[in-house]
Amino acid sequence: MTTEKVREYMRSIGLEERIREFEVSSATVELAAEAVGVIPARICKTLTFKDPQNEDGCVLIQAAGDTKIQNGKFKRFFGGKAKMLSPDEVKEYTGHEIGGVCAFALAQPEKVKVYADVSLQRFDTVFPAAGTDASAIELSCDELFESSKAIEWIDVCKIPEEEA
């Protein structure tokens, strides 16, 4: 039921009407892109990591759907290795299940640092999940940054064309 928490939060900032709920799963980038009707890169995936600087916290990185974390960039920025959270830890910190993780209406906001990767800035709008594995919300990059209470734009992902 975390879409209701996200809906309530989005209502408080005037963006509730943008939430879309689907009859099909949007749990992966590919499924979300199909459900929304956009290319996978425009799906904003929210990646969850242990915070290298705070063992009792985590880091959420909102990134374009076609990217991968670049370990060297992550380590330079955060001062430690990129270690993904377990599904139980994801639920504990965010309040959302894997497949519906987003940086809105977090369960433990005081323990979560939210960042947005510059890979998203290639697009006018992007589609993060809205709390469940069958939901999304369309936001501009500025709206995503502000509504997720991101700390800053960072560059820790590799865009596929950068691999060549």
Q: What is the pLDDT of residues 46-97, one digit of tens each?
A: 999 999 999 999 999 999 999 999 999 999 999 999 999 999 999 999 999 9
CB 113 within 8 A of CB 51: yes
pLDDT given at position 163: 53
- Predicted TM-score (pTM) of the model is 0.94
**Predicted confidence band of residue 162 (pLDDT cuts 50, 70, 90):** low
Cβ neighbours of 139 (radius 10 Å)? 22
CA distance 161 to 115: 22
Which tokens in the block code for residue 69?
A: 């974390």
pLDDT digits (tens, 9 = 90+) for 96-146: 999 999 999 999 999 999 999 999 999 999 999 999 999 999 999 999 999
Q: Read off the pLDDT band of 161 (50, 70, 90).
A: confident
24-60: b (≥16 Cβ within 10 Å) or e: eebbebebbbbbbebebbbbbbbbbbbbbeeeeebbb
pLDDT surpasses 80 at 2: no
Using an 8 Å Cβ cutoff, are 127 and 102 in contact? no
CATH architecture of residue range(s) 2-153: Alpha-Beta Complex (3.90)
Q: How far apart are CA 105 and CA 38, in angstroms?
A: 25
Model confidence at 164: pLDDT above 50:
no
- Per residue in 7-41, pLDDT (tens digit) is 999 999 999 999 999 999 999 999 999 999 999 99
